[in-house]
């Protein structure tokens, strides 16, 4: 239960609960995926998915494979070193690997709600290798304050404009 104290392992103890995914930290979400993956590898977990959840064996294998990919990708993002500055070959290989990962997720686990897989979080992953190349280790880049400022500086003022095409930019700027 205390695996979060061991470097490199996702957490298994969720003190705030897991009733809502909206306010969870990324580490908690990875921990949940890890727990589900471990449960799916057990005989009982496999039986629950195959019999109770009405998932066929092919879909079960795909889900397990995608979860393992996600866990490997998360572990890769937590590395302390990636490639030497100026090593364009390794940078391009990392970029191709991320693109292949995303393609496999989209292909093997179709999403039929909302905008399907055409969501910002998927697109952002295409920039991870470039950000590592420009800014260094992925853990050193934190967008939280910028995202919060986006709400204060853009979303709130945009509610006060008339949304007329000719004056929209001027009204937002003011």
Q: What is the pLDDT of residues 48-73, one digit of tens each?
A: 888 877 788 888 888 899 989 988 88
User: At 28, is the pLDDT very low, low, confident or very high (cuts 50, 70, 90)?
Assistant: confident
State whether 67 and 1 are in the same domain. Answer: yes
State which of 32, 61, 78 marks the end of a domain. Answer: 78
**DSSP structural state of residue 42:** S
Residue in the structure block whose two tokens are 């003190």 = 15
User: What CA–CA distance (Å, rounded) separates 132 from 80?
Assistant: 11
Give yes or no: residues 18 and 66 share one domain: yes
Examine the domain organization and report whether 110 and 46 are in the same domain: no
How much is the pLDDT for 4? 52
93 and 156: one domain? no
On whether both 73 and 135 belong to a single domain, the answer is: no
pTM of the entire structure?
0.69
Overall average pLDDT of the 122-128 stretch: 85
Pair 108, 152 in one domain: no
Q: Residue 155, SS3? A: helix
Tell me which H or E stretch contains 11: none
Domains in the chain: how many in total?
3
Alpha helices by DSSP H, listed for the chain, are: 26-41, 43-47, 57-77, 88-108, 120-125, 128-135, 144-150, 156-158, 168-173
User: What tens digit of pLDDT does each residue of 63-116 get?
Assistant: 899 989 988 888 888 888 888 888 899 999 999 999 999 999 888 887 777 777
Same domain flag for 7 and 39: yes
Contacts with 8 (C-beta within 8 Å, 6 or more apart), sequence order: 75, 78
Query: Looking at the structure, do residues 51 and 94 belong to the same domain, yes or no?
Result: no
Q: Which residues contact 66 (CB under 8 A, 6 or more apart)?
A: 104, 105, 108, 109
- Mean pLDDT over each residue of the chain, to the nearest integer: 78
Burial of 11 (0-12, 13-18, 19+ CB in 10 A): buried
pLDDT tens column, 133-172: 888 887 766 655 556 666 666 677 767 666 676 777 777 7
Residue 118's domain comprises 84-141
Share of the chain above pLDDT 70, in %: 72
Q: Which two tokens stand for residue 120?
A: 């910002």
Instruction: Average the pLDDT over 125-134 and give the result.
Output: 86
Tell me the average pLDDT across 25-32.
Answer: 76
Q: What is the pLDDT of residue 147?
A: 60
Asked if 19 and 41 touch (Cβ cutoff 8 Å), the reply is no
d(C-alpha 87, C-alpha 52), whole Å: 50
Q: Are 94 and 83 in contact (CB under 8 A)?
A: yes
Please tell me whether residues 99 and 120 are part of one structural domain.
Answer: yes
């Amino acid at each position: 239960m205390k695996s979060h104290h061991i470097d490199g392992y996702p957490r298994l103890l969720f003190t705030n609960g897991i009733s809502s995914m909206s306010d969870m930290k990324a580490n908690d979400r990875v921990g949940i995926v890890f727990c589900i993956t471990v449960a799916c590898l057990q005989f009982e977990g496999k039986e629950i998915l195959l019999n109770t959840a009405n998932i066929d064996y092919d879909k079960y294998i795909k889900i397990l494979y995608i979860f393992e990919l996600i866990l490997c990708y998360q572990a890769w993002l937590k590395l302390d070193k990636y490639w030497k500055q100026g090593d364009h070959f390794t940078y391009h290989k990392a970029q191709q690997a991320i693109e292949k990962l995303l393609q496999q997720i989209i292909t093997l686990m179709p999403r039929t709600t909302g905008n399907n897989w055409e969501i910002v979080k998927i697109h952002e992953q295409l920039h991870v290798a470039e950000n590592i190349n420009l800014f260094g280790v992925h853990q050193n880049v934190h967008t939280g304050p910028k995202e919060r400022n986006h709400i204060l500086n853009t979303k709130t003022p945009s509610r006060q404009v008339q949304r007329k095409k000719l004056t929209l930019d001027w009204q937002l700027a003011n």
